[in-house]
Amino acid sequence: MPRIRAIFEAGRRRYGAPRIHAELRDQGIRVARKTVAKLMKERAIVRHGSEGNGERYPPATQRSAGPEDDG
């Protein structure tokens, strides 16, 4: 579906299926959100930043200061 790709590109590759679905609905196109998600998956349309491990922000690292000084 070329409209999905166009909306995705217009959103700077940051739109996921829910937002693309809303845009299509606003344009008068009736389609289910899950159908949009399925079409995006089949065509490898993946929003920017979602290629990682599924976390929105990387975990805070635990830095070790080395062996503790007993004084």
Q: How do residues 14-62 score in pLDDT, each as one tens digit?
A: 889 999 999 999 999 999 999 999 999 998 888 766 555 555 666 667 6
CA dist., res. 21 & res. 41, Å (int) = 14
pTM here?
0.64
Asked if residues 45 and 21 have their Cβ atoms less than 8 Å apart, the reply is no
CA dist., res. 23 & res. 33, Å (int) = 11
Query: Predicted confidence band at 1 (pLDDT cuts at 50, 70, 90)?
Result: confident
The Cα-based distances of 32 to 17, 49, 60, 63 in angstroms read 10, 24, 38, 46
Asked if residues 41 and 16 have their Cβ atoms less than 8 Å apart, the reply is no
